[in-house]
Amino acid sequence: MKKSNSFCCYCLVMIFFTCFLASRSQLTSDFYKTTCPNVLSIVRKEVQNALKTEMRMAASLLRLHFHDCFVNGCDASILLDGSDGEKFAPPNKNSARGFEVVDRIKSSVESACSGVVSCADILAIAARDSVLLSGGPTWRVPLGRRDGLVANQSGATDGLPSPIEALDKIITKFANVGLNVTDVVSLSGGHTIGQARCITFSNRLSPPDSTMETSMMSDLQTSCPSNSDGNNTVALDRNSIDAFDNHYFQNLVNSKGLLSSDQILFSSDEATTTTKSLVQSYSTNSDLFKADFANSMIKMGNISPLTGSSGEIRKNCRVVNS
């Protein structure tokens, strides 16, 4: 009697733990501990090399991870070549960059441990390193994602936020992948580094958007003449283009956000009490921004990962294995 009782207890405990483990994300930060122990230092070194050549690459790599995760989850689908690729969806076309750097990272990782590390994990690590090497926060990157077998061009077209859409639409797109309003605001702080093409904010220049500070308005009208092709770029954070700091939020408080989707977090009728107060807090409390950003990056990196035997470990990040 006693024996069967304790056996039942054991059963229940096992069932409990099985359910508990299955219900939480299966990514772990030591996933490659035995199979590719140096993966983190290899990626770090390649990102460092890339930033030595061009500091903007930090921004481009951060954005690749975001654009990957929002479409079919973090599965490296954005890296797939081909005319039906996500690369050619409007949010990415002539815009997403850094693919050659990802190729270089992948080939270094493959030389050390062939066929083990996914391209999706490489994007997640490279994004973290890019933020850290730009002066931002760091965090332990959950790993164990596998690579998807398909690109989803329409998913990229419909699922990625646009710089000219309404705030409630942007919030819905984040909610669709399990991210909340805090994530919208903290992750928008990614715009503390990198550049944007004139075409992505020209809607604000004529007629002049009254929520833009006037000297910035005339600077931008000079940088982005209305007869140009819209391919010129300017800093997303004109205060400190390459530094991962809270100036992006100070800019918003001072009517110096670049994109419409930036400034509406604070200035428009659409701005909510929550978005306004978060912008205000981050603008004065850099540590809070950095902590929330790191937390939101981990959440974003957890969007629908392929694990176990789903997907594959691509040999070449641009094509599915044959």
Ligand X SMILES: *[C@@H]1O[C@H](CO)[C@@H](O)[C@H](O)[C@H]1NC(C)=O
Number of neighbouring beta carbons within 10 Å of residue 133: 20
State in angstroms the smallest separation of the CB of 235 from ligand HEM: 9
Among residue numbers 234 through 263, which ones bind ligand HEM (CB under 6 A)? 236, 259, 261
Task: Tell me 73's DSSP state.
Answer: S
CA of residue 214 relative to chain centroid, distance: 31
Q: Is 67 a catalytic residue?
A: yes
Among residue numbers 43 through 82, which ones bind ligand HEM (CB under 6 A)? 56, 59-60, 62-63, 66
Under rule CB under 6 A, residue 170 binds ligand HEM: yes
Q: Which is nearer to ligand X, 77 or 134 (CB)?
A: 77
**3-class SS at 312?**
strand
What 47-50 contacts at long range (C-beta under 8 Å, 24+ apart), as own/partner pairs, is: 47/101, 47/105, 47/126, 47/129, 47/130, 47/133, 48/129, 48/133, 49/104, 50/98, 50/101, 50/104
Among residue numbers 110 through 169, which ones bind ligand HEM (CB under 6 A)? 161-163
Q: Which is nearer to ligand HEM, 27 or 193 (CB)?
A: 193
State in angstroms the smallest separation of the CB of 159 from ligand X: 5
Q: Which of 153, 188, 246, 302 binds ligand HEM (CB under 6 A)?
A: 188
> DSSP letters of 100-141?
HHHHHHHHHHHHHSTTTS-HHHHHHHHHHHHHHHTT----PP
Residue 200 CA to residue 5 CA, distance in Å, equals 67
119 vs 72, 115, 139, 163, 303, CA distance in Å? 14, 10, 19, 27, 15
**What does the binding site for ligand X look like in residue numbers (CB under 6 A)?**
72, 94, 150, 152, 155, 159, 180-182, 229-231, 274, 295, 299
Report the DSSP beta bridge partners of residue 195: 235
Under rule CB under 6 A, residue 190 binds ligand HEM: yes
Are 265 and 283 spatial neighbours (Cβ–Cβ below 8 Å)? no
Return the one option of ligand X, ligand HEM, none that residue 230 interacts with (CB less than 5 to 8 A, by type): ligand X
Query: Residue with the closest Cβ to ligand X?
Result: 155
Return the one option of ligand X, ligand HEM, none that residue 56 interacts with (CB less than 5 to 8 A, by type): ligand HEM
State in angstroms the smallest separation of the CB of 312 from ligand X: 15
Q: Which is nearer to ligand X, 32 or 266 (CB)?
A: 266
Are 230 and 286 spatial neighbours (Cβ–Cβ below 8 Å)? no
Return the one option of ligand X, ligand HEM, none that residue 191 interacts with (CB less than 5 to 8 A, by type): ligand HEM
Report the interface residues with ligand HEM, using CB under 6 A: 56, 59-60, 62-63, 66, 95, 97, 161-163, 170, 184, 187-188, 190-191, 193-197, 200, 236, 259, 261
Please give the positions annotated as active site. Answer: 67
